[in-house]
């Protein structure tokens, strides 16, 4: 990076003046398959910056962002700032129309086939689509399934009378051994002081689904003596949790026993609601995985860690029992992050990130904080945190959104992912790098978590 530290002309401020540098696209010859993209980088803000003759604003911090249009084939860009000049070539490949629009090939088998799951944590989906909010359950390796058809890359899974799910073919191997409907031999209830635990003794493993609506609902599929071969039971939040909100649950097998565990409401300490509450802080990316690159060349993985450590301090000062998923610049797999949090029985899981965009979006008009959740139980936490972010910092609300990110697809802890701001937006980027903004942001996050625990209804 070409940072030149110069004293400002007035001699009052010590401003960092940046030489012209592009951080995106990553090289001066790039292939981008999109009608629009952008340049992100740094430049001397006292000089006009031009991209192919069009003047581009440079933020006083030195960052800039500019959306560009791309024609098919070769696009050449000349970027000038004072004496500095860079030439970039971006290739936008012509589309090839062979194959993409094939209709799905769906087949229903005349006779049921049998299979088993070959990978741990394989999603059972409600639609034959690899993505989105369509996960019914996560199946462990070796899990038996009844295959009743297929559609493109998915097997259609028998889940009782006229009810189906979908699992990627790549995660199933067919087998000869029959997979039958099962029976519920008996049920048990246990209160261990921390969890309510419901055990279903079954004659074999069978798919399940847990949904959070007003109440928590459990379905066990392919049960011989249930209506439509689907056993359904509801756990009323009013009765089970005395009207308090859901803060974690899990469904899993232990042998042929299916177990549903629901965390009991926490009795928060009067003055220090977070006292003793286990909170996992996940600094996004790390090691070989850099994350986004800010306008001035800062790496998201480093920024996330800085925020994580500041949040750790803030939460510890409130008495929380903090688990740091990483404290150094190391790579940690997504599933490992979740498993670590679950092993320590974390109640809350906060993943910290800085935002970037796909090529087709505008880095100038997209800015502010976003909070993502996957399961409805985590939405109130996102709302409390957003409320405090807007109150304590000058960020804007770029949305509380449901999204299928691996680290927040965890039901044991109330899990959210916070995009503090846009690293590729010059103004947001300057804020994110600012010490005061960071302090205010982690304070807002900690206060949001505190409210979530304090107000349990
Ligand atoms: Zn990230």
Q: Average pLDDT of the chain?
A: 94
Model confidence at 1: pLDDT above 80: no
Q: Which residue in the block uniquely carries the two structure tokens 């802080």?
A: 281
Predicted confidence (pLDDT) per residue in 146-170, tens digit: 999 999 999 999 999 999 999 999 9
Q: How confident is the model at residue 98 (pLDDT cuts 50, 70, 90)?
A: low
Cα of 353 vs centre of ligand 1, distance in Å, is: 4
Instruction: Report pLDDT for 91.
Output: 96
**∠38-43-44 over CA atoms, to 5°?**
150
User: What's the topology of domain 106-175?
Assistant: SH3 type barrels. (2.30.30)
pLDDT for 181 equals 98
Architecture of the domain made up of 278-454 = 3-Layer(aba) Sandwich (3.40)
Please state which CATH number belongs to domain 184-263.
2.60.40
pLDDT at 441: 98
Which of 3-17, 118-132, 284-298 has the least mean pLDDT? 3-17
Is 10's pLDDT higher than 80?
Answer: no
Look at residue 6 in the predicted model and tell me its pLDDT. Answer: 42
**442 CA → ligand 1 middle, Å:** 17
Convert 412-446 to b/e letters by CB count within 10 Å (16 or more is b): bbbbbbbbbbbbbbbbbbbbbbeeebbebbbbbbb
The confidence score (pLDDT) of residue 100 equals 59
| DSSP line for 395-437 | --EEEEEE---GGG--SSSEEEEEEEEETTSHHHHHHHT-HHH
Which pLDDT score, from 0 to 100, does residue 216 have? 94
pLDDT above 80 for 299: yes
Q: What is the pLDDT of residue 84?
A: 94
Domain ranges of the chain: 3-92, 106-175, 184-263, 278-454
Residue 339 confidence (pLDDT):
96
Centre of ligand 1 to C-alpha 283, Å, is 9
Residue 4 pLDDT exceeds 70: no
- Tens of pLDDT along 182-230? 999 999 999 999 999 999 999 999 999 999 987 899 999 999 999 999 9
- Segment 282-301 shows an average pLDDT of 97
Of 8-17, 31-40, 426-435, least confident by mean pLDDT is 8-17
Task: Write out the H or E segment, with its range, that includes residue 3.
Answer: strand 3-5
User: What is the C-alpha to C-alpha distance for residues 316 and 237, in angstroms, rounded to an integer?
Assistant: 31
State residue 15's pLDDT score.
60
Give the distance (Å) from ligand 1 centre to CA of residue 59: 23
What pLDDT score does 359 carry?
93
Which pLDDT value is given to residue 276?
A: 96
What is the second-level CATH architecture of the domain 3-92? Sandwich (2.60)
The two domains 3-92 and 184-263 share their CATH topology (first three levels equal): yes
Using the mean position of ligand 1's atoms as its centre, give its distance from the Cα of residue 456 in Å.
30
Instruction: Using a CB cutoff of 5 Å, list residues around ligand 1, an ion.
Output: 284, 291, 353
The pLDDT, as a whole number, for residue 213 is 82
Residue 260's closest CA among 213, 215, 217, 323?
Answer: 217
Side by side, which strands form the sheet with 278-283?
A: 321-324, 278-283, 348-355, 414-422, 369-373, 397-402
Q: How confident is the model at residue 95 (pLDDT cuts 50, 70, 90)?
A: confident
> What separation in Å is there between the alpha carbon of 186 and the centre of ligand 1?
46
**CA 103 – ligand 1 centroid, Å:** 35
What's the 372 CA to ligand 1 centre distance in angstroms? 12
Distance 417 CA to ligand 1 centre (A): 9
Please name the residues in contact with 447: beta carbons below 8 A apart, sequence gap of 6 or more.
Answer: 384, 388, 392
Give the tens place of pLDDT for each residue, 46-56. 999 999 999 99
Residues paired with 184 in a beta bridge = 202
Residue 238 pLDDT > 80, yes or no? yes
Measured in angstroms, how far is the CA atom of residue 137 from the centroid of ligand 1? Answer: 25
Distance between Cα 38 and ligand 1 center (Å): 19
Residue 5 has pLDDT above 50, yes or no: no
Least confident of 102-116, 186-200, 305-319, 330-344: 102-116
For residue 298, the CA-to-ligand 1 centroid distance in Å is 13
For residue 300, the CA-to-ligand 1 centroid distance in Å is 7
For ligand 1, the distance from its centroid to the CA atom of residue 275, given in whole angstroms, is: 29
- Cα 178 to chain centroid, rounded: 38
Q: How far is the CA of 335 from the centre of ligand 1 (A)?
A: 15
- 164-173, 213-222, 336-345, 370-379: which range is least confident on average? 213-222
Q: What tokens appear for 361 in the block?
A: 């979006």
Q: How confident is the model at residue 104 (pLDDT cuts 50, 70, 90)?
A: confident
Whether residue 105 is predicted with pLDDT greater than 90 in this model: the reply is no
Q: b/e per residue, 316-338, with b = 16+ CB within 10 A?
A: eebebebbbbbeeeeebeeeebb
CA 294–ligand 1 middle distance (angstroms): 11
């Amino acid at each position: 990076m070409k940072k030149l530290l110069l004293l400002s002309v007035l001699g009052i401020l010590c401003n960092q003046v940046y030489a012209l540098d592009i951080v995106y696209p990553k090289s001066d010859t790039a292939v981008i398959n999109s009608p629009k993209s952008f340049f992100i980088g740094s430049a001397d803000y006292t000089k006009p910056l031009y991209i192919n003759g069009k003047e581009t604003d440079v933020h006083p911090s030195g960052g800039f962002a500019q959306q560009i249009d791309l024609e098919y084939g070769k696009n050449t860009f000349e970027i000038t700032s004072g004496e500095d000049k860079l030439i970039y070539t971006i290739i936008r490949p012509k589309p090839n129309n062979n194959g993409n629009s094939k209709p799905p090939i769906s087949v229903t088998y005349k006779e049921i086939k049998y299979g088993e799951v070959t990978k741990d944590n394989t999603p059972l989906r409600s639609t034959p689509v690899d993505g989105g909010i369509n996960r019914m359950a996560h199946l462990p390796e070796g899990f038996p399934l009844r295959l009743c058809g297929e559609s493109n890359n998915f097997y259609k899974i028998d889940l009782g009378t006229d009810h189906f799910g979908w699992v990627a073919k790549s995660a199933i191997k067919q087998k000869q051994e029959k997979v039958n409907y099962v029976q519920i031999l008996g049920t048990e209830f246990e209160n261990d002081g921390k969890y309510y635990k419901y055990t279903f003794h079954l004659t074999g493993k069978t798919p399940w689904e847990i949904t959070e609506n007003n109440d928590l609902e459990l379905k066990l599929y392919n049960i011989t003596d249930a209506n439509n071969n689907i056993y359904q039971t509801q756990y009323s939040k009013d009765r089970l949790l005395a009207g308090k909100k859901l803060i974690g649950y899990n469904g899993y097998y232990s042998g042929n026993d299916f177990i549903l565990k629901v965390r009991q409401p926490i009795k928060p300490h009067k003055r220090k609601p977070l006292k003793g509450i286990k909170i996992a802080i996940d600094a996004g990316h790390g090691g070989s995985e850099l994350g986004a690159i800010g306008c001035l060349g800062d790496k998201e993985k480093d920024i996330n860690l800085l925020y994580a450590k500041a949040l750790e301090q803030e939460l510890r000062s409130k008495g929380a029992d903090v688990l740091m998923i990483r404290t150094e610049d190391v790579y940690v797999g997504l599933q490992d992050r979740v498993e670590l949090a679950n092993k320590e029985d974390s109640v809350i899981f906060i993943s910290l990130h800085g935002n970037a965009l796909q090529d087709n979006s505008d880095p100038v008009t997209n800015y502010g904080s976003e909070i993502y959740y996957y399961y409805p139980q985590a939405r109130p936490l996102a709302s409390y945190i957003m409320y405090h972010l807007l109150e304590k910092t000058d960020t804007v609300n770029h949305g509380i959104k449901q999204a299928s990110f691996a680290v927040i697809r965890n039901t044991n802890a109330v899990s959210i992912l916070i995009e503090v701001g846009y690293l590729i937006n010059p103004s947001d980027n300057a804020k994110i790098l600012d010490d005061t903004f960071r302090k205010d942001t982690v304070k807002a996050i900690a206060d949001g978590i505190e409210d979530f625990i304090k107000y349990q209804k």
